[in-house]
Homo-oligomer: A and B are copies of this chain.
Amino acid sequence: MAKLADVAKLAGVSVTTVSRVINNYGSLSEKTKTKVFAAMHTLNYQPNSVARSLQGKSSRLIGLIFPGVSNPFFGELVQTLENKLSALDYRVILCNSVNNADTERAYLRMLQANQVAGIITGTHNLTIREYEHVDAPIISFDRHLGDNIPIVSSDNYAGGKLATELLIKTGATCIVMISGANRPNSPTNLRVKGYEDSLQQADLPTHVLELPFSMSPTLKRVEIRQHLTTLKPDAVFCSDDLTAILVGDVAQELGLKIPEQLKLVGYDGTRLIQDYQPQLSTVVQPIGDLADLMIQLLRQRIKDNKVQLQAQYTLPVSLHTGASVLATKA
């Protein structure tokens, strides 16, 4: 790979000059510029960004720490982030924390060692206050990671209410909520809160079933079947779409007609679900807007790490209504 000095020699100028035309700075004569461009072209020159970031320039590398891209929600979020970042001439280092604190710590160190310009993290890990000792700017998706780390999320509480009220409106009276495990700081807690408040307001009982994020789908099915047969609810609200699909499956196995005998609402509303399970009603998180906002905030911090940002940014959710719920009163 050709280097700056090669280009300089070929163009018959100094390395400084070449550096200047590359970075378009200082004053250059048109003639030199042309010469240099020509040399760069014939040598197929590509600046070495490692050398560049060594001497202080931004690496334009962004670390993305998420539980994993095989989950459709995170897959779409990561892809959206990557697309938008890449359009802004940033590159993305992908980190799958698999919800393991040690792994995450290691990633954090690694990202710093690689001089990343910033980090966006949406991991499910908790208690990692070590985030506060990272000097690269950080934006968090949906988690509290430290007092100076802005949180971007969609309105989990409103989402919980939205879903529950939809179910109440259709006449359901025994509405079960299936959520991930109740862990401190978890964003799904607010979804549960929205659910509980809505039911309380309507004077209806609450039933929350917690199925850990990490539980296998097969086990989840077992739990769901048991609850469906025991409680005989007429509606289920799941804090994610995948679990909702499981509920739909089990209901069918039990001969329960959806939505006649069981109404169902999920959460997340990824493109994948809307395209391939359009009958599933779900609370839609605005992935594109979330990504835009996180990037915008991160860039502000990259420009000036001291800039004061809000502790929390909340974006509105919307409702996708499909056949899994009837819009009419029962």
Contact = CB atoms under 8 A, between A and B. Distances in A.
Interface residues of A, number: 54
Contacts of A196: none
A53 interface: yes
A109 interface: yes
B82 A86 contact: no
A246 interface: yes
Interface in A84-118: 86, 91-96, 98, 103, 107, 109-110, 112-115
B46 A50 contact: no
Interface stretch (A71-79, A143-151, A306-314): A71-79
Contacts of A109: 46
B82 A75 contact: no
Nearest to A59: B50
Nearest to A287: B70
Given A50-B53, A93-B92, A113-B48, A272 B1 contact: no
Interface string A44-56: 1011111101100
Contacts of A249: 276
B96 A79 contact: yes
A59 B53 CA distance: 13
A316 to B, nearest CB: 22
Interface of A: 1, 44, 46-51, 53-54, 59, 61, 64, 68-72, 75-76, 78-79, 82-83, 86, 91-96, 98, 103, 107, 109-110, 112-115, 133, 135, 216-218, 242, 245-246, 249, 270-272, 275-276
25 contacts: A1-B135, A44-B133, A46-B109, A46-B112, A47-B113, A48-B115, A50-B54, A50-B113, A68-B79, A69-B75, A69-B79, A69-B82, A70-B72, A70-B272, A78-B94, A79-B96, A86-B95, A86-B96, A86-B107, A91-B93, A91-B110, A92-B93, A93-B93, A216-B275, A249-B276
